[in-house]
Amino acid sequence: MTAPIGSDMLDDLEQFRSEVRQWLEANCPESQRQPVVPEEQYWGGRRGTFASEDARIWFERMRDKGWTAPEWPTEYGGGGLTPHQARILKEEMKAIRARPPIYGLGLWMLGPALLEYGSEEQKQQHIRAIVNGELRWCQGYSEPGSGSDLASLQCKAEDKGDHFLVNGSKIWTTKADECDWIFCLVRTDPAAKKQEGISFLLIDMDDPGVSTTPIELISGESEFCQTFFDNVKVPKENLVHELNKGWSVAKALLVHERKLMAEMGADSPREALVPSVAAHEYLEFVDGRIADAEMRSSLVEYDMLMHAIGLTHFRTFEEKAAGVRSAAPLVMKYVGTEADQQKSELLLAMLGSRGLGWEGEGFSKAELDTVRLWAMSKAMTIAGGTSEVQLNVIAKNVLELPQS
């Protein structure tokens, strides 16, 4: 149970909120206080470009403050904020609609795993580079024959003395063709049982033998790639944690990935419709109520679900602030992505024929974006572990049900 916050701490947090509010007002350019569009997102890296001078200024000010990674240690360029302070920063940024200064899997997933499992040399080399936006990372987990059963992966790394020789491929590697490095699960002991023979490697995408091929999605976009490794030499110092112990790192990282996916859409650059608002625009009302009883019931059910999810997110935050390791992220990946899919289906039902648009004139941007987000919602219950696999994880690790 989380200990109550004392009055002195509350006073300190309110003082911090005031300081954050003043700093944001003075440092966030007006052009960076509006919903971001995909082409204006800044992902950093060697090939990263800013959509405008204001975007560059905003990123550099946040970077210099340490607020691109507000909770990370100051010795690696982070902000050193407490969870409560970081939450206040997020709330105040949301209040003025401030855009995230930078996006990236390095910030969301790899960084937290390196802080827990990386060597001091790896932290010094990679954590600060992530905070400063110097490198853009992609994830090398799934393979063509190893998706839900990730531990069956076959991409191998052979020990060659001073380096590993990596051969194989990874699939669904987001924006691999635009990234600088990839964090990768590889098999280093083919004779060991599944999880026991896997290691966690960091690989430079510019290394000879690394290549990528884009994969077109149902949404019409192509943000995923298949990545190939053909006799790629990886220095031994790029091994994270211990040899054949990469599964521990992978599981820690997956917690952050599932948390990210559970919150997916909160900062979406697409102009998604809100069900409660869309109802007034697209549905018939009689005596102040939605005429269609089934639609009315579906909307109420969705609103109740989202309220419960919001409360659970807050509970998870309080547990984290109290130093309690929570199982909620394992549950919330399933709940969050399923809720997002439920929302998309509900919106399409409300839109009727207005939900048939894909591109071109005749439909609003919000209508077109809603349809594309509906298509993406199908992928979200697969990526990062299918809903069926997540239910198995919950049964085993949260509910501790007997395994057959």
H or E element that contains 225: strand 224-235
| Ranges 3-12, 315-324, 393-402: which has the least confidence | 3-12
Spell out the residues 6+ positions from residue 365 whose beta carbon is closer than 8 angstroms to its own. 271
Strands 181-187 and 137-140 turn out to be parallel
Structure tokens at 61: 């000010």
Spell out the residues 6+ positions from residue 366 whose beta carbon is closer than 8 angstroms to its own. 271, 272, 273
pLDDT at 113 > cutoff 60: yes
Give the residue with greater pLDDT, 219 vs 78.
78
Identify the pLDDT of residue 210. 98
Average pLDDT of the residues in 238-249: 95
Strands 285-286 and 210-215 turn out to be unpaired
Identify the pLDDT of residue 219. 62
Spell out the residues 6+ positions from residue 384 whose beta carbon is closer than 8 angstroms to its own. 254, 257, 258, 261, 333
| Ranges 27-36, 197-206, 310-319, 342-351: which has the least confidence | 310-319
| Ranges 89-98, 140-149, 262-271: which has the least confidence | 262-271
Give the residue with greater pLDDT, 362 vs 166.
166
121-130 confidence digits (pLDDT tens): 999 999 999 9
CB atoms within 10 A of CB 178: 17
Q: How confident is the model at residue 387 (pLDDT cuts 50, 70, 90)?
A: confident
Identify the pLDDT of residue 1. 39
H or E element that contains 137: strand 137-140
H or E element that contains 159: strand 156-159
Q: Name residue, tokens 């309690």.
A: 324
Identify the pLDDT of residue 2. 42
Average pLDDT of the residues in 193-222: 89
Burial bucket for residue 307 (CB in 10 Å: 0-12, 13-18, 19+):
exposed
Cα–Cα distance between 144 and 147 in angstroms, integer? 7
The CATH class, in words, for 137-246 is: mainly beta
Q: Which CATH architecture has domain 7-103?
A: Orthogonal Bundle (1.10)
Structure tokens at 391: 């239910």
Residues making up the chain, counted from first to last: 404
Identify the pLDDT of residue 397. 75
Is the Cα torsion angle 25, 26, 28, 34 positive or negative in sign?
A: positive
HSE toward the beta carbon, residue 282, CA cutoff 13 A: 22
136-147 confidence digits (pLDDT tens): 999 999 999 887
Distances (CA, A) of 326 to 111, 305, 330: 19, 20, 9
| Strand stretches in 236-338, DSSP E | 239-240, 285-286, 289-290
The CATH class, in words, for 263-398 is: mainly alpha
Angle at 96 between CA 12 and CA 274, to 5 degrees: 120
Estimate to the nearest angstrom the gap between the alpha carbon of 338 and the chain centroid: 16
301-347 confidence digits (pLDDT tens): 999 998 988 888 788 777 777 777 777 767 888 888 888 899 999 99
Identify the pLDDT of residue 366. 87
Domains of the chain, by residue range, sit at 7-103, 137-246, 263-398
Burial bucket for residue 33 (CB in 10 Å: 0-12, 13-18, 19+):
middle
* Percent of the chain as helix, strand, coil, to the nearest 5: 50, 15, 35
pLDDT at 263 > cutoff 70: no
Cα-Cα end-to-end distance for the chain: 33
| Contact criterion met (CB below 8 Å) for 178 and 44 | no
Distances (CA, A) of 217 to 222, 237, 250, 272: 6, 36, 26, 19
Spell out the residues 6+ positions from residue 3 whose beta carbon is closer than 8 angstroms to its own. 322
| Contact criterion met (CB below 8 Å) for 253 and 329 | no
Burial bucket for residue 181 (CB in 10 Å: 0-12, 13-18, 19+):
buried
pLDDT at 260 > cutoff 70: no
pTM score, whole prediction = 0.78
